[in-house]
Amino acid sequence: MSDLTPDAMPGRLIAAAAGLIAASGAGSLSARRVAAAAGTSTMAVYTHFGSMGALVRAVVAGGFDALEAAFVSDVETDDPVADVARQSAAYVHFARENRDLYAVMFGIAALGEFRPTSPEELGVGRRQTLDRVTSNLGRAAAAGRIGAARGDAPTFRWWTVVHGYALLESSGHIAPDRGPKSVLAPLLCDFFVGEGDGRARALDSVTGGLASLT
């Protein structure tokens, strides 16, 4: 797991690289610029990562490590639909608090030659986070709240909803003080109703799960 604590050198370098990419694209990356932004020497870049490509990969992997940590910070409850809503809140909160990192993780910031293309590269971190949601959706199916489904299709439908919301909010198209209640909650409610839940019950669970955002 990548060390993203502010006082740890790898974390400082990752944060510096993420900030440079978000501000000016991957073309702005150099060992000198990353080191200057992190307040260290260029030797530190190569000591900890070996190459600029490895540093960019560490930015992505470290971001997913941090997102996974946010997902597991809440204790599982007896309402799996509310638990998915809490994961949705954690996802949006992560995007709010780590805008540069989020932009790099999902290719919103231009990565140029460092852009992941292979299934292995694109899968970095994805499984460790989406599996958390898949588990709760499976619990919701077992509880009769939603229909059983094969594979990851419901999880990817959830991801499309929440990532789309987080992206629009981060770009200023949705106001963060009103969006969770007026946009995200209805979207998640519609998602769960579409998966088989009752609307009143879904709305109650989603509203409770998103409480930390509203």
pLDDT tens digits for range 53-73: 888 888 888 888 888 888 887
**Does the residue 92 lie in any domain?**
yes
pLDDT bin (cut points 50, 70, 90) of residue 19 is confident
Listing DSSP states for 43-78 in one string gives HHHHHHTSSHHHHHHHHHHHHHHHHHHHHTSSPP-S
**Does the residue 27 lie in any domain?**
no
Which stretches does DSSP call E strand in 32-162? none
Domain that holds residue 116: 63-209
**Does the residue 57 lie in any domain?**
no
The answer to whether residue 162 scores a pLDDT higher than 70 is yes
**Does the residue 23 lie in any domain?**
no
Q: How many domains does the chain have?
A: 1
Look at residue 68 in the predicted model and tell me its pLDDT: 86
Please state, in angstroms and rounded to a whole number, the distance separating the CA atoms of residues 84 and 184.
13
**Does the residue 135 lie in any domain?**
yes
**Does the residue 19 lie in any domain?**
no
**Does the residue 138 lie in any domain?**
yes
Please state, in angstroms and rounded to a whole number, the distance separating the CA atoms of residues 105 and 96.
14
**Does the residue 146 lie in any domain?**
yes
